[in-house]
Structure 1
C-alpha cells in the first residue's frame, strides 16, 4: 500500500498534505516515487509499475527494480539504459523504486546555435526559467559533440548503498551524436527528497546509447522548458521493510553529489 503526500512551496514554507491515491495526476505537478535518500541507502525494491507511473506523466527519469538501469520516459515511452550501455524498451509490468515524472507542456522555447558545455547550459536554463525556488522540466533536442553518461549494474539483495554501487559504474563516451537531453531542475529545499539542482538523462536519437549524464558539450539544438509546476507529490513505500528501517535522518548531501556527478 502507498500513501500519497504533496509538498507545497508556499511563501517559502514546505507544507505536507496527505492525499488519497489517484490514478491520474492533476495538471501543473510532478509525481515522484519514493525519495532520493531512500535510494541512496539501498532501497531498490520496486513498488510502482511503469504502467501506473505513466498515468502520472509522459516525461521523466528514474531507475528500475534492483537498480537495473537508467530510466528515460519520453513522449510516453519508457527506455532503459542498462550497464552494457544498450537501450531497451522495458515492459510496463516492470517496477521502479525511484522515479520522477510530469505531463510535459513546454511554456518556454529557445534555439541554441552555439556550442555550450554543461555549466553553460545550466546557466541558460536558469535564465530562461528564473527563480531558484521553482521546479523546471526541460528537453534539449540537438547535436552533441560529446556526452559522457553512466548506468549501473543490477543489484542483488542484500543491497549495498548507492555510493558503493557507483564506484564501479560503467561510463560511456558518445561522440558526434544526435539525441535528447531530458531533466529536472529542483529547488534546494527538496534535499533528501529529490536531487537539488540539475538531474539529467540522455537518449541517443538512434537508440544507440544514453544514461545518466555526467558531462556534455552541445553543438546546437532546441531547448523547451516546462516551468509551471506548483507541487511535488510523493508515493512512499511505507510497508516495505527496507524503507521502514532506513535511516533517513542522516544528511546525505555528499553522497548525492558523489552519485550524481
Structure 2
C-alpha cells in the first residue's frame, strides 16, 4: 500500500509540476495561501539525490514558512517570515542567497488555525503528546510554528557533500550537532500523516532558528520553557518533481523507513 500511494502521488506531482516553469515565473496568488507546496520527495534525498531543483528566491513565492535543505546537502533550510536561513555544517547561520538551490523543501503561507499560549513541554515526546491532543485529525497536513523560550534545544546540520554523493544516512554520520540551553527562538516544521511516507516525513519534523539568528538547524530534541504554538491546517497539496538529474534514475519506492528514523532522530549519547 505504501509503495502504490507513492506512485500515485508522484503521478500527481508530475501533473502539477509540468507547468512549473510558468508557475515559477509568477508570484503566488492570494487563493494559494491554503496550499502545502513541496519540492521533490524525502525518499529521493534518502537515495542521495542532492541536486537542487529551484532557487530559494522562487520557493518563497509559494510560502513564507517552511523547512528543507540545500543543493549538495549544504545545511538545513529554515524559512521564517518570508526569509530563508541556512544553518550550515560548521554551526554558522546566514540568510541564504536567493539563487541557492534546494533539492527538498516544503512551505506554505502561514495562517494559524489554532493557537496554544503559555505552552511548556519536556522533551520531544512531551511536545508530541501535547500536540496530538490538539490536532483535528491525524490524516490532515499541518504546518507548525513555535515562538518562545527553549530550556534546551539540540540541533544538527549536515556538511556539504561532494560527488559521488553518499546515502543520506552515511552523509549524516559526521554532521554538526550541538545542544543549546536557555535560548529564545522559533521552531517551524510539519506534522504529516503516515500515508505520506516516501513523499515526506510522517509525524513531526521541526527546524529551529534563534532570535538572534546565530543558532539553527534540524531539531533532534528540545524542551519548551514557555512558548506559543501555532498550527496551520492546510487542505491542499502541490508537488514539484525534478525533471532531470539524479531523480530521474533514482530507484524510488523501497521501504526506507528504518533509514528515515535514523536520520530524523539520531542518537546523541
Provide TM-score, normalisation by structure 1. Answer: 0.91
Alignment match of 1:208 (pick from 214, 234, 256): 214
SS at 2:183 equivalent: strand
Residue in structure 1 matched with residue 141 of structure 2 by the alignment = 135
Decide whether the 8 Å contact of 2:87 with 2:94 is kept in 1. Answer: yes
Distance (whole Å) between structure 2 residues aligned to residue 164 and residue 69 of structure 1? 15
Alignment match of 1:116 (pick from 119, 122, 127): 122
Distance (whole Å) between structure 1 residues aligned to residue 9 and residue 63 of structure 2? 23
Matching of residue 98 in structure 1 with residue 104 in structure 2:
yes
Matching of residue 74 in structure 1 with residue 89 in structure 2:
no
Could you tell me how far 1:189 is from its partner in structure 2? Answer: 0.7
User: 1:26-69, CA deviations, whole angstroms, 9 ceiling, x for partnerless residues?
Assistant: 23111111100000111111110111111000000000101001
Distance (whole Å) between structure 1 residues aligned to residue 9 and residue 106 of structure 2? 19
Alignment match of 1:222 (pick from 190, 214, 228): 228
Distance (whole Å) between structure 2 residues aligned to residue 32 and residue 115 of structure 1? 29
| Structure 2 unaligned blocks of 5 or more | none
Could you tell me how far 1:238 is from its partner in structure 2? Answer: 2.4
Which segment is superposed worse, 131-140 or 106-115?
Answer: 106-115
Pairing 1:1-261 to 2, within 5 Å after superposition? 17=12, 18-19=15-16, 20-21=19-20, 22-23=23-24, 24=28, 26-227=32-233, 229-240=234-245, 242-261=246-265
Residue in structure 2 matched with residue 3 of structure 1 by the alignment = none
More helix by share: 2
Which segment is superposed worse, 104-113 or 210-219?
Answer: 104-113
| Structure 1 unaligned blocks of 5 or more | 1-6, 8-12
SS at 1:163 equivalent: helix
The alignment's C-alpha RMSD in Å is 1.7
Distance (whole Å) between structure 2 residues aligned to residue 113 and residue 123 of structure 1? 12
Distance (whole Å) between structure 2 residues aligned to residue 53 and residue 43 of structure 1? 19
Distance (whole Å) between structure 2 residues aligned to residue 38 and residue 115 of structure 1? 33
User: 1:186-223, CA deviations, whole angstroms, 9 ceiling, x for partnerless residues?
Assistant: 00111100000111101111112110000111111111
Q: Which runs of 4+ in 1 moved over 6 A?
A: none
User: 1:98-138, CA deviations, whole angstroms, 9 ceiling, x for partnerless residues?
Assistant: 10111110111111344432112112222222211011111
Distance (whole Å) between structure 2 residues aligned to residue 204 and residue 155 of structure 1? 25
Provide TM-score, normalisation by structure 2. Answer: 0.88
